[in-house]
Structure 1
Amino acid sequence: MENITVEELKARMDAGEQLHVIDVREPEEFAAYNIGALLIPLGKIQSMQIEEIEDLKNEELIIHCRSGKRSMTACLFLEMLGFTNTKNLEGGMLAWEEKFGPRP
């Protein structure tokens, strides 16, 4: 697992890169505010309900949550399941909102 900053992620998104960004928060958190990531709550990852990303084991996965703690757990769990390139978004959505403001 590596870390990625909100500035790095936003620059890559703004450049139009095809990214695999996964939000491990709960559906109500996602509904309130999201950056267009694929929603797979941490509980689903921990119970190995990861069919949607099973074919991405060797791809870069950028994982985020509210603050960075759940996403770190998700990265470690995915690595145990054979994923080789996970990145934890430092500070999560709190850092994103602090840096870039609420999304319209």
Structure 2
Amino acid sequence: MKFLIDNIFLLGLVVLSGGALLFPMLRGRGNKVTTLQATQLINQGKSLVLDVRDADSFAAAHLLDAKNIPLKDLAQRLVEIDKFKAKNVIVVCQTGVQSAKATSQLSAAGFEQVYNLEGGMAAWQTQGLPTISKESKVENKTGNKVKA
């Protein structure tokens, strides 16, 4: 007990720094969906898939029927997706970091049901889910291309 009293400031510093390290993980970063949940929302047919990666990454592989608006252009191009304010919007990037920023922007702009795809395209492709590329062919789990 004497040790704790003698080192109260050191103990306080340890607790404070530990809390600072945990804070980002405990803080909510908006609505997230897993690849399974995103697939279910997409299959219901009432969702916009918004890909916020650059045009080259989008052309290489993206989700079927996704709309590409790079994150840097999102604020200026919100009018293009205005009709989806009351519908589900699933935001996708490569890993989920840029789409988290886009999710915040869309929520601030009045979009009601905005979801960030956890893990982004990397998680989608790791799960072997279909993507479409510039050649307009769907790639399946084995990487083989099949007609869309």
**TM beyond 0.5:** yes
Which residue of the partner structure matches residue 65 of structure 1?
93
Q: Deviations over 1:29-58 (max 9, x none)?
A: 00001112111110111x332221112222
Which residue of the partner structure matches residue 38 of structure 1?
67
Answer whether contact 2:95 2:122 (CA < 8 A) is retained. Answer: yes
The unaligned stretches of length 5 or more in structure 1 are none
Which residue of the partner structure matches residue 36 of structure 2?
7
Which residue of the partner structure matches residue 88 of structure 1?
116
Matched residue count: 102
Q: Deviations over 1:52-95 (max 9, x none)?
A: 11122222111010000000000101111121211000000000
- TM-score norm. by structure 2 comes to 0.63
Highest Rg: 1 or 2?
2
Structure 1 counterpart SS, 2:90: strand
Distance in 2 of aligned mates of 1:16 and 1:81: 24
- Deviation above 2 Å: which 4+ runs of structure 1? 10-13, 15-18
Which residue of the partner structure matches residue 103 of structure 2?
75
- TM-score norm. by structure 1 comes to 0.86
Identity value in percent: 31
Structure with higher RCO (Cα < 8 A, 6+ apart): 1
Distance in 2 of aligned mates of 1:102 and 1:90: 16
Determine if the alignment matches structure 1 residue 97 to structure 2 residue 112: no
> Are residues 18 and 43 of structure 1, via their aligned partners in 2, closer, same or farther at CA, if it must alter by over 3 Å?
same
Distance in 2 of aligned mates of 1:24 and 1:60: 16
Answer whether contact 2:47 2:87 (CA < 8 A) is retained. Answer: no
Distance in 1 of aligned mates of 2:44 and 2:88: 15
Distance in 1 of aligned mates of 2:130 and 2:37: 18
Structure 2 counterpart SS, 1:96: helix
The unaligned stretches of length 5 or more in structure 2 are 1-29, 132-138, 140-148
